[in-house]
Structure 1
Amino acid sequence: MTVTYKETKAIQTEKVRELYVDAGWMAYTEKKNIIDAIVPNALQVISAWEGEELVGLVRTVGDGVYIMYIQDILVKKAYQGRGIGSHLLQTILSGNKQIPQKVLMTEDTEKTIKFYEKNGFTKVNGKETGVAFSRYDR
């Protein structure tokens, strides 16, 4: 079957939950109000589908003018390695060329670093690119 891509926020919450559970992102799925809100409240959402199955998703938050934060990009484990994540990321980037600052934060693993560098991102950790800070209140 062929993977198709859609730009829409009209995705059933249960399909979104299944995707996040498969990715092991349990912080989003612990409370129903969070999983119910993340897609409708995003700046932009592009999803990947095989038939009726949601197999991947990228969502952004931001002002849509100067900064775009790539909040989530995930692909079901069984579909990884097929270029779906790169396609989602490149689609989001090419559709938002007018936004100068694009930011994301992710795991510091060899796999994720290679993925983002392959897609044109630079690791932020020096004087030239600034410093990243994070605060996570649970």
Structure 2
Amino acid sequence: MVAYTFTRTPQVTDQEILGLYRSVDWTAYLQHPQNTLAALTNSTVLWATVDDHLIGLIRGVTDGHTILYIQDLLVNPTYQKQHVGTTLMKKMLDRYQNVGQTVLITDPEARTLKFYESLDFLKITPQTYGRAFVLERRF
């Protein structure tokens, strides 16, 4: 059974966290692992575990009132297609249900678009909402 908690348990080690990022090939997060771990410490994280082993997480950055930015949502491939990602997102959105706007940036894959649209996220286009801008400094 999957357990969800906003508190990192002692059993979830730094190596297990980095292993989760590795399992989904998010290599940018592994280039400077200390930055990834610090980012998690300074964010709101919902952890998904099975028998005290990390299987997924969602990370949000928020002021708690007007904006919630979803930065990371990842699930170990062994547990994908079992509604873990959906549950992580719904629990994060429930926690911040009074926040006016939730945004995220993700890859352009069709399955990713389908996933977020199933959760009522809208794809931003200049005609529907406005423009989105990114200044990338990780590379």
| TM class by smaller structure | over 0.9
Specify every segment of 5 or more residues in structure 2 that has no aligned partner in the other structure, as ranges: none
Structure 2 matches for 1:49-88, cutoff 5 A?
49-88=49-88
* Aligned equivalents of 1:31, 1:96: Cα separation in 2: 29
Specify every segment of 5 or more residues in structure 1 that has no aligned partner in the other structure, as ranges: none
Residues 83-117 of structure 1 show CA distances to partners (whole Å, capped at 9, x for unaligned) of: 00000000000111111010000001111000000
Three-state SS of the structure 1 residue aligned to 2:35 is helix
* Aligned equivalents of 2:98, 2:8: Cα separation in 1: 22
Residues 34-57 of structure 1 show CA distances to partners (whole Å, capped at 9, x for unaligned) of: 122121011x11111111210010
Three-state SS of the structure 2 residue aligned to 1:116 is helix
Residues 28-83 of structure 1 show CA distances to partners (whole Å, capped at 9, x for unaligned) of: 111132122121011x1111111121001001012221111001000001110000
Name the residue aligned to 1:125.
125
Three-state SS of the structure 1 residue aligned to 2:41 is coil
**What TM-score, normalized to structure 1?**
0.93
**What TM-score, normalized to structure 2?**
0.92
Name the residue aligned to 1:110.
110
Which is worse superposed, 83-92 or 46-55?
46-55
Residue 133 of structure 1, CA deviation: 1.1
Native 8 Å contact 1:70 1:102 kept in 2: yes
The amino acid across from 1:71 in the alignment is Q
* Aligned equivalents of 2:111, 2:7: Cα separation in 1: 28
How many residue pairs get aligned? The number is 136
Name the residue aligned to 1:27.
28
The Cα RMSD (Å) is 1.2
The amino acid across from 1:53 in the alignment is H
* Aligned equivalents of 1:35, 1:14: Cα separation in 2: 12
Which 4+ runs in 1 deviate beyond 6 A? none
Residues 2-32 of structure 1 show CA distances to partners (whole Å, capped at 9, x for unaligned) of: 1111112454211110110101111111113
